[in-house]
Structure 1
Amino acid sequence: MIAELLYYIAGLLLLIGAAFSFLAVIGILRLPDLYTRAHAASKAGTVGSGLTLIAIALISFDGAVILRALVGIVFFMLTAPISAHLLARAAYVAGYKPCGETVFNALENHDGDSSKD
């Protein structure tokens, strides 16, 4: 009875995780510039993969698999947003400008010295 309930919960988590991953793909294809695409990929991709790993942990009934899934979730949460931020920063420094629809650009005319603000 409990195992059957866990299978249904895991199936629901897999569907929600797949939906978030699909939204990340749509964001990568449809958003106007590198910065918004990186945001979509890092945020929605992290949630999608995290939910998928939680589903795997729920149905595995093996401590080693559960531990690996939890470590994978922590890994995604630590690395994906940070790497997206660093890649976007490197692109900006290299000269890739945001799209014309960008309202606020915190890096524009910023030389790293906050005492001049």
Structure 2
Amino acid sequence: MSLLLNLLSGLMLVSGAILVVISGVGLLRFPDFYSRIQAAGMTDTLCMILILGGLMLRTDSLEVGAKLLFTLVFLFFTAPAASHALTKAARQCKLSPWRSDKEDESSQP
């Protein structure tokens, strides 16, 4: 049973780490603020579930497991709310989304 828990925990931790890297690449590659927020917001929730879940499987202490679970629940509700607040603030500041047809209009005389 211990081997199965270690394998499952390791798989969750590695999967979460890979998704964090993919999210970072999305932050660097996407053209505007809104698509970058989506790249970060969509993956960070799944990453934290995988990483904190993997850590919960590795712990021997009930107290540490409870703290990890509390952290997971807290982040599960606050991370999407933070992404929403950032997007709403950008819209209120009239930050327009990137469009590929803007380049065509600016290049014409």
Judge same fold: TM > 0.5, yes or no: yes
> Runs of 4 or more off by more than 6 Å in structure 1?
none
- 1:62 paired to 2:61: yes
Q: Does 2:71 match 1:79?
A: no
| Conserved 8 A contact 1:14-1:52 | yes
In structure 2, what is the Cα distance between the partners aligned to 1:17 and 1:63? 23
Q: Confirm or deny: 8 A CA contact 1:24 1:40 kept in the other structure.
A: yes
Please give the alpha-carbon distance, in whole angstroms, between the structure 1 residues aligned to 2:85 and 2:13.
29
Q: How far 1:54 sits from its partner (Å)?
A: 0.4
More helix by share: 2
Q: Which structure 2 segments of 5+ residues have no match?
A: 101-109
Contact 1:46 1:77 in 2 (8 A): yes
- C-alpha separation in 1, matches of 2:70 and 2:45: 13
Counterpart position of 1:50: 49
Q: Which residue of 2 aligns with 1:7?
A: 6
1:69 Cα deviation from its structure 2 partner: 1.2
Q: Kindly state the Cα deviation for residue 45 of structure 1 after the two structures are TM-superposed.
A: 1.4
CA displacement at 1:25 relative to structure 2: 0.6
Percent of pairs identical after alignment?
A: 32
Aligned twin of 2:104: none
Q: Name the aligned partner's letter for residue 14 of structure 2.
A: L
TM-score w.r.t. the length of structure 1 is 0.80
Deviations 1:14-41 (A, max 9, x none): 1110111111111111111111111111
Q: CA deviation at 1:59?
A: 0.9
Looking at both structures, which has the greater relative contact order when contacts are Cα pairs under 8 Å and sequence separation is at least 6? 2
Counterpart of 1:100?
Answer: 99
Aligned counterparts of 1:16 and 1:90: Cα–Cα separation in 2 = 32
